[in-house]
Structure 1
Amino acid sequence: MKNILIFLGIVAVLIIGGSILYFSTQPTSAELEYSEQIKWDVHKYLINEENYVEDNIEEIKVTDNAKLKGKKRFEIAVVFKDDKDSVYYYQYDKKSGKVEQFAVTGKKHEE
């Protein structure tokens, strides 16, 4: 009986701890709204400031880097039609107030 209680206690701790960890890493609704806003901001930046043609943008996708806290956790991954094997990552820089490319896996659209 004692072993069963110990086992159940361990299972309960693992379930509760896992639940707390899972829910603490999920973005809030404000963070999700922010991620959609910066997705749109990156789109505008590419068209208006970098002069990309709309038809050359294959995909703009928000990625959630849960290792980072708050609004910095969202990265925008962009794939261009003329360079489909590469991904270009953008973030909003609060200090400069601008969208910036911070990582690339290709060279064609590196800024």
Structure 2
Amino acid sequence: MHQTIEISSLQKERFTGLYTSWLVQTRDRLTALSYDTWMDLRYQQNRGASASFSQGAVVFDLIHGVLYEVRGKDRLRRIFRIQMDGDFPYLSFRDPANAIDFPWITFPGVFTQAELMTLRRVY
């Protein structure tokens, strides 16, 4: 069982953690991949890594390599994939109608509590 982490308590320097790792690998010529391609490859690894979070009264788990959805006020589905950097989540929205994965962003501050109450695992 994981300790629950309050999303607002995540340190701001963590927001650039994977970007900094990619910059180091690029500088050291360990990768020539673009940041999003590097993140996509990383997403395919470490499946099953997870952490528990809270945002206000809402408590939820996120698992690396899993596709989730939330519903907004308009009831439209917002589908996204998750990858973890230790206990720090990144997400990439998905447009399944057009088979597009959008760039990776950090999870904190993206969703309201109401949206997180609708969080469910897609696959």
For normalisation by structure 2, the TM-score amounts to 0.30
For normalisation by structure 1, the TM-score amounts to 0.32
Bigger fraction of residues in helix: 1
Larger radius of gyration: 1
Relative contact order higher in (CA < 8 Å, ≥ 6 apart) = 2
